[in-house]
Structure 1
Amino acid sequence: MPDYFDGYLAVVALTLVGAVFVGGGLGANRMLRPNRPTEEKLTTYECGVDPVGDGWAQSYVRYYVFAYLYVVFAVDAVFLFPWATIFSDPGYGMTTLGEMFVFLGFLATGLLYAGKKGVLSWV
Structure 2
Amino acid sequence: MSVLPGKKQLERKRYPKYEITFNITEQEHQNYHSLTPEQKKFLRMLVRLILQKPELLNYVETWYNFLLQKVFVDYICPACLAPFPHRRALVMHLRYEEHSTECKMCGRELSSTDGLLDHVCKKHNICVQ
The verdict on a shared fold, with TM-score over 0.5 as the criterion, is: no
Q: Which one scores higher on RCO, CA 8 angstroms, separation ≥ 6? A: 1
* Shorter-chain TM-score tier: under 0.3
- Between Structure 1 and Structure 2, whose CA radius of gyration is higher? 1
If the length of structure 2 is used for normalisation, what is the TM-score? Answer: 0.22
